[in-house]
Amino acid sequence: MKKFILNADDLAKDVSHNSAILTAYEHGLLKSASIMTNMESYDDALKRVVKNCPNMSIGVHLNLIEGKSILSNLDMLTDNEKNFNNSYVTLLLKSYKAKFLAQVEDEFRAQIERAKSDGIKITHLDSHVHTHSIPNIFKIVARLANEYNISQVRTQEEVPYFIQNRSYQAVNFIKVMLLNSFTFINRFTAKKYNLKTNDYLIGVSYTGDMDSSTILEGLKKIKGENIVEALIHPTLENKEFELTKDSELKNHIERMNYVISNYQ
């Protein structure tokens, strides 16, 4: 069976993200979101979105990039004020150090525990800026998923594609190639822990610039019976929010024989 999951990353990043995800859920195409448990708008997300979207699958959007850490004394992840201070590249370079990996595991555990303690039934794990794609960090996420009985973790294989008359940054192609290579490694880890993953992802090639056409063109490149996740970052002001209201997009996806689903 072909399944399509539209997932909104960055739930709890700010009030605008929360409002957009709540409204998008009411239109029926968006059935899944990933929450950032360390952000200041987390409580707002709990009260307005999680509480009022009972059929939405909620994952934890593990975060080492933005905002403050939940734990203290993480000198390889944060500054003295608990602000995360690494980029994807510096996280990758540090990912071979035991002390660093221990701090990552502690912080990720705290972020998962916060969601669980607030009654969220966690259906999947992914991460802000795809940091869990880094193989040594993915191993930590896989172990934690297994420990907390979370059966699904995002992987990032994307079939490269180009849309005529749309701007495409070369850096995105490099990101796709890097994430595809990491996914090849990470799938062995996922299998070791009996975790389920999506088969393909749409949202790296045109990250931050997603609309109905980028989703449909991405789906056209994928053959066979697969689970495909498309990720968006909707706010009330951007076109990634607008696509969630596009009933014709929903019809197109269903005509391609995809079941519109979520991580439940």
Residues 6+ apart with CB under 8 A from 239: 209, 210, 211
Q: What is the pLDDT of residue 164?
A: 84
Task: Give backbone dihedrals phi and psi of 259, rounded to 5 degrees, phi first.
Answer: -90, 125
User: Tokens representing 161?
Assistant: 């594609």
Q: What is the mean pLDDT of each run of 10 residues along the chain (264 residues)?
A: 97 97 95 98 98 97 98 98 98 98 98 98 98 98 98 97 84 95 98 98 93 96 96 94 95 96 94
Say what the pLDDT of residue 169 is: 79
Confidence (pLDDT) at 165: 79
pTM of the complete model: 0.96
The predicted pLDDT at position 64 comes to 98
Map residue 196 onto helix, strand or coil.
Answer: strand
Joined tokens for residue 155: 């992987």
Question: Measured between alpha carbons, how far is 148 from 111 in angstroms, rounded to an integer?
Answer: 12
Cβ-Cβ contacts under 8 Å for 186 (sequence gap 6 or more): 133, 135, 138, 142, 155
From the CB of residue 109, how many other CB atoms can be counted at a distance below 10 Å? Answer: 17
Distance CA 180, CA 186 (A): 10
Handedness of CA 158, 258, 124, 42 (dihedral sign): positive
Q: What pLDDT sits at residue 91?
A: 98
> Which tokens hold the place of 111?
């972020």
The DSSP call for residue 70 is S
Q: Locate tokens 């150090």: which residue? A: 97
The set of residues, in sequence order, having a beta carbon less than 8 Å from that of 243 and lying 6+ positions away, is 29, 210, 211, 212, 215, 232, 249
